[in-house]
Structure 1
Amino acid sequence: MAKPLKIFIGYDSREDIAWRVCRHSIQRHASADIEVYAIRQDELRRRGLYTRPPDAATTEFSLTRFLTPHLADHDGWTIFADCDFLFTANITRVFDDLEPDKAVHVVKHDYEPVRATKMDGRKQTAYPCKNWSSFMLFDGAHPACRALTPQVVNSATPLFLHQFQWLPDKNLIGSLPLTWNFLEGEYPVPDAPPNAIHFTNGGPWFDECQDVAFADLWREEKALMEQVAA
């Protein structure tokens, strides 16, 4: 029997509802056996896996995401996604688009942010590989992923991690179609919903983001989740 696909979602205590709706959207559409986990910084600190001092990062999982291969602890593929995603399709379909012999696969965004500030009011910055790490597929058997140890995650600079400098060769990064990490507000709205909608500038769980594209789909997913829980 095939092992379940492990999926890790970044958890931020300020966006609990986003994490829960993201998880529900994955589980509702998945056709295969999956296991969905939250990457919670407080738990990782208790386990001694994350020891960096507190910082001013936008999210609590800004750097803990890179512990995904270590946490998965297997030779198969593992997925990481930010909590501000909404999935509208079977997540296992992402494996239809993989390139051979790659350590990690991402959507290779190349854009200048439309907004000058982030969802929390802080200055928006542009840098190489921006938002690449918000949705990643790790090959747990690849030596480059195995080398992404807690020691590296706890000592490397944020840019070293987010710009994939931990890879010996950038050619080890495979490319995924945009539909798997569609940045709402940064790209023209397509006719059909993308497979993975990323509310990178703030989603409809914030009062000021009620009218963003695909907000209706997010609210529908939230309602379905609440029906199941009732």
Structure 2
Amino acid sequence: MSLSNGNAVKPFKIFVGYDSREDVAFEVCRYSILKKSSIPVEIIPIKQSDLRKSGLYWREKGQYESTEFSFSRFLTPYLANYEGWAMFVDCDFLYLADIKELRDLIVDEKYAIMCVQHDYAPKETTKMDGAVQTVYPRKNWSSMVLYNCGHPKNRVLTPDLVNSQTGAFLHRFQWLQDDEIGSIPFVWNFLEGHNRVVESDPSTLPRAIHYTRGGPWFEAWKNCDFADLWLNERDEYLNNEAKKAITN
């Protein structure tokens, strides 16, 4: 991590995809990161409405876009001023471990990005609140990405390119060579309903759960795997917010 103001460490920037239908998911994701982080972090929502107002996002909604940040996520290096490392993550994540552990996996500047390289083909035809479940190469790779924002290859990710390129180009990271994509252990993007914990192997315990099919904030997914963990975190978040309101 780069330094500023003498020995002060710059906060690790985490851009979280925001969808107006999943506000509570965003808040719980944010809460779970902040609660467990032992390093300074700055969490920035990627809100399509704000990006449109500022002239950074103008593409029309496609029929297969399941979230409001399906494409705007790729503005992460631009929004970070092409400086240092930053992270993008979908809002439907619950963090169970210190984000410092994830940031410390950044060991090689040769990588333009690092992510969990899933081999994932969902069985469901719909997800979340009825959105079409699409299948494509490198599915879910883009749902949590550590971006080396200053890497020369990532400078192509301008608003013009993000607003004009195809979903295949963006979600498959086609602006990069394969050896420029670093790998992260799957437990940092543990896919609910797909990945499994092996009782005899502690290394399979999730560090961050991704409710990619739909989380318990949707009625249809209220009994999904690890629903209790998310609901407990939500209740804790809401209780803390209520206490703040009384105090203020």
**TM-score, normalising length: structure 1:** 0.95
Say if 2:89 is the partner of 1:77: no
Conserved 8 A contact 1:17-1:205: yes
> What is the letter of the counterpart of residue 220 of structure 2?
E
How much does 1:75 deviate? 1.9
Structure (1 or 2) with the larger CA radius of gyration: 2
Q: Which segment is superposed worse, 1-10 or 50-59?
A: 50-59
Q: Which segment is superposed worse, 184-193 or 171-180?
A: 184-193
Conserved 8 A contact 1:89-1:195: yes
Structure 1 equivalent of residue 5 of structure 2: none
Aligned to 1:9, what secondary structure does the other structure show? strand
The superposition leaves residues 126-152 of structure 1 with CA deviations (integer Å, 9 ceiling, x where unpaired) of 211100000000011101122211111
Structure 1 equivalent of residue 75 of structure 2: 67
Structure 1 equivalent of residue 117 of structure 2: 108
For residue 222 of structure 2, the aligned residue among 204, 210, 213 is 210
For residue 171 of structure 2, the aligned residue among 143, 149, 162 is 162
C-alpha spacing 1:110/1:134, structure 2 compared with 1 (3 Å): same
How much does 1:54 deviate? 2.6
The superposition leaves residues 77-112 of structure 1 with CA deviations (integer Å, 9 ceiling, x where unpaired) of 100000000000011211333352100001000122
Aligned to 1:69, what secondary structure does the other structure show? helix
**Counterparts of 1:31 and 1:128, CA distance in 2:** 35
**Counterparts of 1:153 and 1:138, CA distance in 2:** 15
Query: 1:88-103, aligned counterparts within 5 Å?
Result: 88-100=96-108, 101-103=110-112
Aligned to 1:152, what secondary structure does the other structure show? helix
Say if 2:87 is the partner of 1:87: no
Structure 2 equivalent of residue 183 of structure 1: 191
C-alpha spacing 1:190/1:120, structure 2 compared with 1 (3 Å): farther
Gapped regions of structure 1 (runs ≥ 5): none
Structure 1 equivalent of residue 137 of structure 2: 128
**Counterparts of 1:9 and 1:95, CA distance in 2:** 16
Structure 2 equivalent of residue 138 of structure 1: 147
Aligned to 1:128, what secondary structure does the other structure show? coil
Q: Which segment is superposed worse, 69-78 or 83-92?
A: 69-78
Gapped regions of structure 2 (runs ≥ 5): 1-7, 243-248
The superposition leaves residues 159-181 of structure 1 with CA deviations (integer Å, 9 ceiling, x where unpaired) of 110010122x1210000000110
**TM-score, normalising length: structure 2:** 0.88
How much does 1:189 deviate? 4.0
- Equivalent pairs, count: 229
**Counterparts of 2:76 and 2:232, CA distance in 1:** 29
C-alpha spacing 1:125/1:53, structure 2 compared with 1 (3 Å): closer
How much does 1:121 deviate? 2.6
Conserved 8 A contact 1:75-1:141: yes
Structure 1 equivalent of residue 18 of structure 2: 11
